[in-house]
Amino acid sequence: MVLFAKEGTDLATYFSGQDYVDMKDSDAVFIAVPYTSDRTPAPGAKETLVPICKLSSDNPARDYDIRVGEEAVLVLDCFGNFDDVGSKFSKKPTSKELKDTLQRLPSKVESLNKKLDKSLAAANTALSKGDRNAAFKAAVKILESGTVGYGAASEAAKMYNTICDEVRTEVAALKEAEDKKEAQKKLGELAGVFTKKAAPSVASEIAAAKKEVAAVAK
């Protein structure tokens, strides 16, 4: 459980009741995030689609979309994931409400795991058939969920990074290719898959390469 405090909230006593104390010993880990009004975007946030653990970021309140001045208690899985598995309380929950929420968490985690595994299987199948674009899109689908910690999420991130590195190498080679018209065509095809939304830094490299090749091809 993670408390995102309002300004002036006493973090030391917020979950001090005996029912909460008993839960700390057996059911959950309680974390309190001090109040901050800072919602400055994370450095490098737009360079890659690979998510990080929001709970260990430099500003969890920003990354969990907690409004400035809002008090919230989030119930997360053990990796700090909220989407698909978590629950949010906009006021202090009772210990019973927390326990009931925790009891529903394992089934949500199981469902998420199955969904991620299915998407990863699709990515691996596409890759084994030589369809890199389809594999990339399947990996992107997993990463867009923002999920971290699960095996499928980690494997999708590895696949995504590997493919992006391959494309960077191809882009560098296309800039040096003798057949500039063919290079333009292939760069255009890459741009259609590796978009700013799916692969921001790769898309920028492709765009720069297209300009460079087009200037020489004239």
pLDDT tens for 141-166 read 999 989 999 999 999 999 999 999 99
Q: If we measure between CA atoms, which residue out of 185, 163, 177, 154 comes closest to residue 81? A: 154
Supply the pTM of this predicted model.
0.84
Please say if the pLDDT value at position 82 is more than 70.
yes
Find how far residue 27's CA is from the centre of its chain.
26
Least confident piece of the model among 15-29, 68-82, 129-143, 204-218: 15-29
Q: How confident is the model at residue 30 (pLDDT cuts 50, 70, 90)?
A: confident
